[in-house]
Copies of this chain bind each other. A is one copy, B any other.
């Protein structure tokens, strides 16, 4: 029996991609076994809680990535504009220039949200919060900083939906360039 994964962490990105393509409800265990190359027994060894635990693990993984690669730079960079620029670059990279959707956003839309309400709420709140703080540091007044932060985060989500609807990733990257202009004082 050749082992496929040294640790559970290596499986999670594969799961993430499956959930992105099919949604949480549409991702069947048979598809998951096929794509991971793991039998059900292995899967349930790593995720005793079944699909729900897989969804949780995937969301935690995304949240951790953004915390480290987006939210922290936004909060910690000495020059706020640099942190914001980094955020846009990291977003373009993470969403593969608009070819890859946002898992958290897609979970937020249907009743999947109810299962993972806490993580979903926290992810977007943290994003808006970190961006809002950076904007304030770069000169926006409190109210305007919050509004722009919300508009930018929501704008990214919307750009993903729109670009995918038109099957044209450039619509995403261009929209992000315009959103970035909103963050300049």
Contact = CB atoms under 8 A, between A and B. Distances in A.
How many copies of this kind of chain does the complex include?
2
B162 A157 contact: yes
A165 B106 contact: no
Central interface residue in A110, A155, A166, A175, by most chain B CB within 10 Å = A110
A117 B167 contact: yes
Interface in A94-152: 101, 104-106, 108-113, 117, 120-121, 123-125, 147, 150-151
Contacts of A21: 110-111
A175 B161 contact: no
Interface stretch (A22-30, A48-56, A73-81): A22-30
A110 B22 contact: yes
Central interface residue in A22, A154, A171, by most chain B CB within 10 Å = A154
A158 interface: yes
A68 to B, nearest CB: 21
A38 interface: no
A167 B22 contact: no
A162 B124 contact: yes
Contact of A165 (B120, B147, B162): B120
Contact of A113 (B105, B113, B165): B165
Contact of A25 (B22, B117, B153, B157): B22
Contact of A110 (B26, B120, B159): B26
B165 A161 contact: no
A156 B154 CA distance: 8
A164 interface: yes
Contact of A155 (B25, B26, B151, B171): B151
* 9 cross-chain pairs, A with B, having the tightest CB-CB distances, nearest first: A158-B158, A25-B26, A154-B158, A157-B158, A154-B162, A23-B110, A108-B165, A157-B161, A124-B165
